[in-house]
Amino acid sequence: MKTLLLSLLLALLATGSSAVTFTLKNNCPYPIWPGTLSGKGTPQLPSTGFELPPGQTYQLPVPPQWSGRLWARTLCATDRTGKFVCATADCASGQVACNGAGAIPPATLVELTLGSSTGKDFFDISLVDGYNIQVSVVPTGQGCSSTSCPVNVNSRCPPELALLGSDGAVLACKSACLAFNQPQYCCSGAYASPETCHPTNYSMIFKNACPQAYSYAFDDKSSTFTCNSGGDYNIIFCP
Ligand SMILES: *[C@@H]1O[C@H](CO)[C@@H](O)[C@H](O)[C@H]1NC(C)=O
């Protein structure tokens, strides 16, 4: 009997069925609608979009080997034609679920790769596509450090990068690449390498606000964080 139980347990472990859990928490004083997008060739998570009222948490099971991104939409509503739309980080699916569609920038992105062949997870916060909300990523596993962008970049956003609401409030802050579409800001063309693409006065606004986050495509390695695989993650909006 003991050996049977043991072999059952070993079989369970071998199939890697011990899923990782992402616990998303909304510490903002307003509702958010997180979205998830799996990387190419990997199945979407059980939820690709849902509402998260202030103060609430949502647990999302994730396969032990997974790669993808998460973000939070804000100021969402169903319009008169029945379409679900958001003022920031919309995924344009027309529904609360994003169903394989990504965030329309500007959007603060949480990027994770779990269960790499070296037994490590890699994760980062990216403001390369702009900023719409504060977030922190807190792993619960061993040998991990957390990363955070706790500062409201909207309040420091220069007017030429600002995404404005109808009342003139800054809802999100575009990257210079998104606002001006020039190679020196997008790290494209003659600037398509780490040697030629450098921080700019615009990327520095994001870097100064959130030093742990990626501020442009070739931002230094200090923006990528690692953790031993198998642990869970707390992802907190407005930490
Ligand atoms: C950044 O630099 C550009 C080009 O030199 C200049 O036109 C712009 O006003 C500067 N913006 C800020 C926010 O410093």
Domains and CATH numbers, the chain: 2-237 (2.60.110.10)
Best CA proximity match to 132, nearest among 164, 159, 160? 164
Half-sphere exposure of residue 138, counting CA atoms within 13 Å on the CB side? 11
Calculate how far, in angstroms, residue 205's C-alpha sits from the geometric centre of ligand 1.
11
> Please, what is the end-to-end C-alpha distance for the chain in angstroms?
49
pLDDT over 70 for what percent of the chain? 92
H or E segment at 26? strand 20-26
Q: What is the mean pLDDT of residues 38-51?
A: 94
- Helix then strand count (H, E) for the chain reads 4, 13
Calculate how far, in angstroms, residue 201's C-alpha sits from the geometric centre of ligand 1.
6
149: confidence class by pLDDT, cuts 50, 70, 90: very high
Q: Is the CB of 165 under 6 A from ligand 1?
A: no
Nearby residues of 164 by Cβ (< 8 Å), 6 or more positions away: 170, 171
Q: Is the CB of 46 under 6 A from ligand 1?
A: no
220: confidence class by pLDDT, cuts 50, 70, 90: confident
Q: What is the mean pLDDT of residues 122-151?
A: 95
Q: Is the CB of 201 under 6 A from ligand 1?
A: yes
**What pLDDT is attached to residue 1?**
47
Considering only CA atoms, which residue is closest to atom 14 of ligand 1?
Answer: 201
Measured from the Cα of 160, ligand 1's closest atom is 13
pTM score of the predicted model: 0.91
Best CA proximity match to 192, nearest among 174, 224, 218, 213? 218
Q: Which residue has the higher pLDDT, 229 or 4?
A: 229
Overall size of the chain counted in residues: 239
> What pLDDT, in 10s, does the model give residues 1-20?
455 454 544 444 444 456 99
Q: Give the 3-state secondary structure of residue 105.
A: coil
Q: What is the mean pLDDT of residues 208-227?
A: 92
> What pLDDT, in 10s, does the model give residues 46-68?
999 999 999 999 999 999 999 99
**What pLDDT is attached to residue 18?**
66
